[in-house]
Structure 1
Amino acid sequence: MSPTLPIPADFTGTIQDAGHGSVVRRSVLPGGVRVLTEAMPDQRSVTIGFWIAVGSRDEAEGGFGSTHFLEHLLFKGTPTRSAMDIATAFDRVGGESNASTAKESTCYHARVLDTDLPMAIDVITDMVTSALIEPEELETERGVILEELAMDADDPIDTAHEALAAALLDGHELGRPIGGTAETINAVTRERVLEHYRQWYRPDELVVTAAGGLDHDEVCRLVVEALERSGWDLPEGAAPAPRRSHVYTGAEISEGLHRIARPVEQSSILVGGRSVHSLDPDRFALALMNSTLGGGMSSRLFQEIREKRGLAYNTYSFSAAYSDVGYFGLYAGCSPQKAGSVAELMVSELERLAEHGITDEELERARGQLSGGTVLGLEDTGSRMSRLGRAELVTGEFVDLDGALDRLRAVTAEQVQTVAQRLAASPRATIMVGPDVQADVLSGS
């Protein structure tokens, strides 16, 4: 079996049989529900995720924050289970349950013993299909979410990251914060949240992924039975919802310096620009470039800014990729009086990489770092469950471990330099979060 396999929308069958009992399979169930599993016979646990391809970017005006609101509300009860029933179901078996909202997807997931998988499927299906979203619970969670947003606003690093996304995707749906703002959360009504729920939580949008000690056919049977109990209409032959388009719809970049005053002792600095989307062929070269520039203690940013000059405790680079666009950034936290020097050093390291490329030793070190991280990251059922979700919703292909490592090994130093040149030439925004003393430091930026 090839280490890389495209996943057509109607594909049902074995994606990969790696031997030793490890098998990846996919089925399309009635209603267009998709189920992908990775059987790992040596595991006594299973991690299962129910994915909906809806994120904060999909919210309509007047409903900003609804996706994250639903993440909270689905744990608050159904016609057959109270919030306490849902929590107790997992606690009594030593399991874990949680959910996450992103800009392009939402996932409700649990990790349980293999013998408790039927319970996990039944409970999460009930939550996803039959949430009550009662008015009093919504008001309670409105307060909880406002506290969550206030907590994030108190963190200057979180504030800087949100500001960078907004600047690089000015006016674009991906530039909005996932959880909304205090203003939008206070304004959103139960009717708008319910409308969002009914629009997106339907069979053709549902993807179930699971990894661990499981049987694929049994998982499919349990999912169908649970969905039938929920009352969802599951017509035979219904097609899954199409994956997202990779055609970019466009957004401006708010270039230059953006200052956000905070009464803190240290300035948080982010410098960033546009990057590659989630299927761009340059994404593997970008990963190696990011590792070399700011991916660890041996990276150029860490060595130059912290080790040699002592200007910052923490500095790194990062990238974020979505279906149609991406961005990158350079971060450092430092004394406000040194903010200008640190920002210039970060940019100069990127430009030096673009002009002179990387050494053979740096390339091998980056490959080793990413290869090791990839292998170690797939040693638990949760990461493998998430890999299946990404394969189905984002890339449309399954890449096994050997395939992922092969792609990293195939990247050349010239490709890494080309990506660095692409990023260095991108219009940039600079975010400074800290005390007002920094206001004159980058006046020329």
Structure 2
Amino acid sequence: MYEFRTTDGPLPVMAVIDERLSTTTVCLASKYGSRDDPREECGLAHVLEHVLMSAPVGSVPSFSEYVERLGGHANAETGLDRMLFYAQVHADDAEEITGLLQQAVLRPRWNEKTLPQEKQAVFQELAAAAADPSDVVQDAFLAHQFPGHALGRPVGGTRESVERFDVSAMAAGHGERLLTAPLSLIVVGPAVPASADPLVAGVPPETLAHLGTVGRDLSGLPEPEADGPVRWPEEFAWVCAGARSVGNHDPRRPHYNVLAQLLGSSPSSVLYRRLRGEAGLAYAFQSWNRGYGETGAWRVLAGVAPGNGDAALAVIHGALEEIATDGPKPDDLEAARRQAQMRILTSVDAPLECARFLALRSGGPADWSPATEVESIAAVSAADLRDAAAQLLGGWRAVVRPEAS
């Protein structure tokens, strides 16, 4: 059995303590994401993430390399609304690595060598994403949902914007945005290392004083683009359909999460039975909900063969209409709730996934815990799903990639 703890302070700590674990996972979660970069610096947060994990820190060539040489795993990720830096190591190495991670992220050593190397890595990422229609279509969907807004921009930026970045731009983004955004530390392991205290880790008090001092601009969102006809290509394509949902800490978020399971890729879902089983229109598809601070996006992603696109969309839209009108059947609702709860429980049971799960929910209500999340899923009713489905239908948009030329 694990123990869940939270502490306050300039660097709040959220911890899952399980003495049976032989590894410790530590994650720094910043509420600085790609949406916080100026338009002309689109992609800077993503490049900065690469640089911080690859630059020299302390007496080692890079945080990532050092962790891997210890037999551990290190990685980082940038999203629209936050950045995560994490490592999983043997519990004996947790003290050193927890301190080193804070130094790498909060006290970087800028140099002229790391940035060019990491820009090349980012160029490869951008090229790989551009060659994958299932990636491209998701960027297009968000661009339709949030036209002209930072939430509609690609996280990785463009090759042109990345090429312009120099070390001074990295340092400015780090000081002006990462060091002024709320930051939290997540620990999953047999104990909380003493170096989880940033002062013990060697982070100067003046650095900590800036954390969380700058809030995100949540001024009005633009209306979604008009829903035009889908131009299906004469080849296999990916379609992304959905609408805006609610923010990450909105009490209605569990409604949309359960709805994603009700219309998800599990054989227990309504959409699986209709789209794959009865109609045979799609083999690969998934549904999910994601909160972005003041709003969110609920979507279905499906791969469709030539000639099946309109029929597949009709099945997806029809299933959502039926839920908005009649609500789900009791056994389908129960299955969807159990699926949503199991996603939480399996995340908590896997240390690295647990750290990421907690990081994505940090900064919410003080009384939040994985247990309360499970309880909130259990409380989702048929009426809640009717309301959620009706809201999604009101803003429904669908985009396909590649499009017909």
Provide the TM-score with structure 1 as the length reference: 0.83
Residue in 1 that maps onto 2:279: 309
Residue in 1 that maps onto 2:225: 254
TM-superposition CA deviations, 1:84-127 (whole Å, max 9, x none): x5344223321111111111111111111111012212321231
Residue in 2 that maps onto 1:10: none
Distance in 1 (CA, whole Å) between partners of 2:4 and 2:281 is: 50
Distance in 1 (CA, whole Å) between partners of 2:181 and 2:37 is: 19
> Conserved in 1, the CA contact under 8 Å of 2:140 and 2:399?
yes
Please identify, of 301-310 and 126-135, the stretch whose mean Cα deviation from structure 2 is larger: 126-135
Q: Once the 2 structures are TM-superposed, how far is the Cα of residue 148 of structure 1 from its aligned partner?
A: 0.6
Identity percentage over the alignment? Answer: 21
Distance in 1 (CA, whole Å) between partners of 2:114 and 2:196 is: 32
Distance in 1 (CA, whole Å) between partners of 2:56 and 2:241 is: 45
Counterpart among 124, 131, 155 of residue 101 in structure 2:
124
Residue in 2 that maps onto 1:422: 391
Q: Once the 2 structures are TM-superposed, how far is the Cα of residue 130 of structure 1 from its aligned partner?
A: 3.1
Distance in 1 (CA, whole Å) between partners of 2:334 and 2:308 is: 33
The alignment of Structure 1 onto Structure 2 pairs a total of residues equal to: 405
Name the SS of the counterpart of 2:263 in structure 1: helix
Distance in 2 (CA, whole Å) between partners of 1:383 and 1:258 is: 39
> Conserved in 2, the CA contact under 8 Å of 1:98 and 1:110?
yes
Residue in 2 that maps onto 1:357: 327
Q: Once the 2 structures are TM-superposed, how far is the Cα of residue 227 of structure 1 from its aligned partner?
A: 2.5
- What is the identity, as a one-letter code, of the residue corresponding to 1:225? V
Q: Which structure has the bigger radius of gyration?
A: 1
1:268-307 matched pairs, under 5 angstroms: 268-307=238-277
Q: Once the 2 structures are TM-superposed, how far is the Cα of residue 49 of structure 1 from its aligned partner?
A: 1.0
Residue in 2 that maps onto 1:329: 299
Residue in 2 that maps onto 1:225: 200
Name the SS of the counterpart of 1:162 in structure 2: helix
> Conserved in 1, the CA contact under 8 Å of 2:262 and 2:333?
yes
Q: Once the 2 structures are TM-superposed, how far is the Cα of residue 289 of structure 1 from its aligned partner?
A: 1.8
Alignment of 1:68 with 2:41, yes or no, is no
> Conserved in 2, the CA contact under 8 Å of 1:64 and 1:188?
no
- What is the identity, as a one-letter code, of the residue corresponding to 1:434? P
Name the SS of the counterpart of 2:308 in structure 1: helix
Q: Once the 2 structures are TM-superposed, how far is the Cα of residue 203 of structure 1 from its aligned partner?
A: 7.6
- What is the identity, as a one-letter code, of the residue corresponding to 1:43? L
Q: 1:340 to 1:79 in 2, by over 3 A?
A: closer
> Conserved in 1, the CA contact under 8 Å of 2:179 and 2:211?
no
Name the SS of the counterpart of 1:340 in structure 2: helix
Residue in 1 that maps onto 2:212: 241
Q: 1:162 to 1:21 in 2, by over 3 A?
A: closer
Distance in 2 (CA, whole Å) between partners of 1:303 and 1:346 is: 11
Please identify, of 238-247 and 307-316, the stretch whose mean Cα deviation from structure 2 is larger: 238-247
Please identify, of 92-101 and 146-155, the stretch whose mean Cα deviation from structure 2 is larger: 92-101
Q: Any gaps of 5 or more consecutive residues in structure 2?
A: none
- What is the identity, as a one-letter code, of the residue corresponding to 2:227? G
> Conserved in 2, the CA contact under 8 Å of 1:35 and 1:209?
yes
Q: 1:225 to 1:204 in 2, by over 3 A?
A: farther
Q: 1:87 to 1:347 in 2, by over 3 A?
A: closer
Q: Once the 2 structures are TM-superposed, how far is the Cα of residue 132 of structure 1 from its aligned partner?
A: 3.1
Q: Once the 2 structures are TM-superposed, how far is the Cα of residue 206 of structure 1 from its aligned partner?
A: 3.4
Q: Once the 2 structures are TM-superposed, how far is the Cα of residue 429 of structure 1 from its aligned partner?
A: 2.3
Name the SS of the counterpart of 1:327 in structure 2: strand
Counterpart among 314, 335, 338 of residue 344 in structure 1:
314
Residue in 2 that maps onto 1:22: 3
> Conserved in 1, the CA contact under 8 Å of 2:199 and 2:205?
no
Alignment of 1:433 with 2:401, yes or no, is yes
- What is the identity, as a one-letter code, of the residue corresponding to 1:332? A
Alignment of 1:377 with 2:347, yes or no, is yes
TM-superposition CA deviations, 1:282-312 (whole Å, max 9, x none): 2222222221122422222221121112122
- Following superposition, which runs of at least 4 residues in structure 1 exceed 6 angstroms of deviation? 258-262
Name the SS of the counterpart of 2:300 in structure 1: strand
Name the SS of the counterpart of 2:289 in structure 1: strand
> Conserved in 2, the CA contact under 8 Å of 1:170 and 1:253?
yes
Alignment of 1:140 with 2:109, yes or no, is no
- What is the identity, as a one-letter code, of the residue corresponding to 2:35? R
Q: Any gaps of 5 or more consecutive residues in structure 1?
A: 1-19, 440-445
> Conserved in 1, the CA contact under 8 Å of 2:26 and 2:87?
yes
Distance in 2 (CA, whole Å) between partners of 1:137 and 1:304 is: 51
